[in-house]
Amino acid sequence: MGFEFVALSLPPLVIGTLAAMACALPGNFLLLRRQSLIGDAISHVVLPGIVVAFLVTGMITTTAMMVGAAGAALLAVILIEAIRRLGKVEPGAAMGVVFTAMFAGGVLLLEQSDTSGVHLDVEHALYGNLESLIWLDAVGWASLTDPIALAALPPELPRMGAALVLLSLLTWLFWRPLKLSTFDEGFARSLGLPTTVISLAIVTAAALAAVAAFDAVGSIIVIAMFICPPAAARLMTNRLESQVAWSLLFAALSAIFGYVLAGYGPLWLGASASVSAAGMIATVSGLILALAALFAPHRQA
Amino acid sequence: MFEALTLQLGYNAVLVTLGSAALGVAAGAVSAFLYLRKRALVSDAVSHATLPGLALAFLIMVAFGSDGRFLPGLMVGSALSAWAGLWTVNWITRQTRLPEDAAIGAVLSVFFGFGIVLLTIIQTMQSGRQAGLEGFLLGSTAGMLRSDALVIAAGGALVLLATFALRRPMLMTAFDEGYARVQGLNTARIDMALMVLVLAVTVVGLKIVGLILIVAMLIIPAVAARFWSENATHVALLAALFGGLSGYVGAALSATAPDLPTGPIIVLVAFALFALSLFLAPSRGVLASALRHRRLQHDVHLRQGLLALAHNQPVYEAMTQRMLRAHGMMRADGVPTDAGRIAAAAALQDETRWQELRRIEELAMLASRDDGLTPITDILTADQVALIDNRLKPQGVI
């Protein structure tokens, strides 16, 4: 178990958990601000961003992809706002117009351009490649203390870790204004807090989490983790502090159980191949939400 | 491309194009009611929730010895799981304190995720390798069977008929739920009927547009159509037209080249129609409202300039100077022309009358009609104007 687990299962497991938690954290605020579907929209428009970045630079580099994806997310937010204001279209519909059109554009560009040499396709965008993030230099648990082996960890791991740390730090630093403007925007504004900036910052943080997680785990996990763990946590408690803690716990549980079930579940049932980890993680997060909706202490208003 | 648009690309391409147009018309008509009911994004949950049912239907059909690609069977499976997804959204919204958008997001991601799990199982099966179920994600018309196209066209026609039959109760519910209920309509059931139509469009559209993008056909046509009319029936008809046009042109364009996927092209055509509407529509369009704004700006500047001239004050504001000169009211050196003097006097008289109006008890309420531009003679009767002028005469203004 030792070598195989550390080399093949541990890195994706950790990356999946970090990604899940990084998405769940801003998801809490999106949920309370009734903007959950912004996460859905962002994870759709990341695809055209990455395709354009690839077409411009001609290669798949992390920086180019991140910039492309972030640019697309920003463009989407601006377009949604513009359509909402200029055309007096209701926000949900404006969002629907923008993200479907941008996603369609992304798919079309992808089909039109020659991406056969690189790992870039719609399936990858949807369910990522969590299973392929293996750590070939690992020889066993001892590798965790071996700096040379550690340097060969999949780059997604430190990136996801950095994203989670950054998001946690920002949440911690701006906790009070975040909380105030989320629960009572009018009051926050009367205190002189820049509520528009805060609102934009939350969307940007969500975009950051989505972009960082997207490459490793695909957009299904991103959407599921934006919504399901915070929603389940919301049913557990009335305090924002506890809600955030619960959501991080649920996110981690979804990632761990989802990954293990996807990787080993079919083997226990006698099948030979594993199933999609991304899909399974989303499924487990849904099961947790279902349990919370049925039994959680604060499930009703 | 011309051949494609005029249906000269061969029997199958024609069938696909017509099927897709029928679907587009149906989707557009339904989208109008969905948009008026402000539930556009529920269709996102419904469409993503089709995936597990699609995969399960395939697995079941394979278990019974067929090759699993029988389209009506797949459609029944996806309809059942979409129904389960819709039921879950409603259940979460009703039974817990979570808002509807969270319920939508949760259902769409979890059902879709579970569907992907099932898809990976299918991909490892012998019969699953060629199943092409991935084609349902983004739609694919390549190698579509004649029977499939017929099923899609017939499905679209059925949805359209049902929408037509239900248009009145759906409109009433969308505009005024309370009134509709007083009229004896069961609004919950009508909402349910609307959702069944959404579900039907989704299931029929899976093969052509794909389940990720079909939601676009249930949102964009209505939003585009709304720019052109304030009348709900016209919006529904226009949305149907836009939907049909997107389906027709999109499918025809995609038949012209191998790497033009049908679903995305249809959505982009719909988006182009939306963009055109956003900019060009009369009254609600961006261009029209920009022109209106500019016109208002002109009128305000001209009026203020004339008042300044009447008071013998110099005009400094550049735009006001330009307006006055363009209308021949002022010479380049800032001196008013004869026409300018007459117009200025008229403007001043109008202004004075408006001010006096506020002091007359029985007319004061009309002061709210004073927007600084409308001549008072457009609002008041000749008698009322005469009354004001009589009061002004002793002051020597008139």
Q: pLDDT at position A218, please?
A: 82
For residue B117, give the nearest of A40, A108, A283 by CB distance: A283
Q: pLDDT at position B195, please?
A: 92
For residue B117, give the nearest of A31, A272, A276 by CB distance: A276
Dist CA A75 CA A86 (whole Å): 16
Pick the CATH number of B2-219 from 3.40.50.300, 1.10.3470.10, 3.40.50.2020, 1.10.300.10: 1.10.3470.10
Domain A2-214 has CATH 1.10.3470.10: yes
Within chain B, all domains assigned CATH 1.10.3470.10 are found at: 2-219
- Express each pLDDT in B164-219 by its tens digit: 999 888 888 888 888 888 888 888 889 889 999 999 999 988 888 888 899 999 99
- Express each pLDDT in B345-377 by its tens digit: 888 888 888 888 888 877 777 778 777 778 888
Residues in chain A: 301
Q: Does B276 touch chain A (CB under 8 A)?
A: no
Q: Where are the domains of chain A?
A: 2-214
- Computed over every residue of chain B, the mean pLDDT equals 86
Q: Tell whether the torsion through CA atoms of B347, B349, B351 and B353 is positive or negative.
A: negative
Q: Does B119 touch chain A (CB under 8 A)?
A: yes
Please give the residue that has the higher pLDDT: either B111 or B306.
B111
Task: Among A30-39, B137-146, B274-283, name the one with the lowest average pLDDT.
Answer: B137-146
A74: tokens are 């920003």
Dist CA B107 CA A182 (whole Å): 24
Dist CA B386 CA B286 (whole Å): 42
Q: pLDDT at position B128, please?
A: 55
Burial of B199 (0-12, 13-18, 19+ CB in 10 A): buried
Helix-helix angle B71-95:B50-63, to 10 degrees: 140
Q: pLDDT at position B129, please?
A: 57
CB contact under 8 A, B120 and A279: yes
CB contact under 8 A, B97 and A231: no
Q: Which amino acid is at B211?
A: L
Helix-helix angle A91-112:A62-86, to 10 degrees: 140
Chain-centroid distance of CA A180 in Å reads: 25
Q: pLDDT at position B396, please?
A: 61
CB contact under 8 A, A286 and B109: yes
- Following DSSP, what letter does each residue of A92-146 receive, concatenated? HHHHHHHHHHHHHHHHHHHHHS--TTSS--HHHHHHTTGGG---TT--SGGGGG-
For residue B264, give the nearest of A104, A262, A273 by CB distance: A104
- Express each pLDDT in A48-96 by its tens digit: 988 898 888 877 777 788 888 888 988 998 899 899 888 888 888 999 9
Q: Which residues pair with B336 in a beta bridge?
A: B330
CB contact under 8 A, A107 and B263: yes
Task: Reply yes or no on whether the pLDDT at A27 is more than 90.
Answer: yes
- Express each pLDDT in B226-276 by its tens digit: 999 988 889 999 999 999 999 999 988 888 877 788 889 999 999 999 999
Dist CA B108 CA B309 (whole Å): 66
CB contact under 8 A, B110 and A31: no
Nearest CA in chain B to A232: B98
CB contact under 8 A, B102 and A293: no
Q: Which residues of B touch A301 (CB under 8 A)?
A: 97
Please give the residue that has the higher pLDDT: either A24 or A88.
A24
CB contact under 8 A, B41 and A279: no
Collapsing DSSP to helix, strand or coil, B315 comes out as coil
Dist CA A35 CA A5 (whole Å): 39
At B397, the pLDDT band (50, 70, 90 cuts) reads low
Q: pLDDT at position B19, please?
A: 87
Dist CA B235 CA B35 (whole Å): 10
A18: tokens are 């970090």
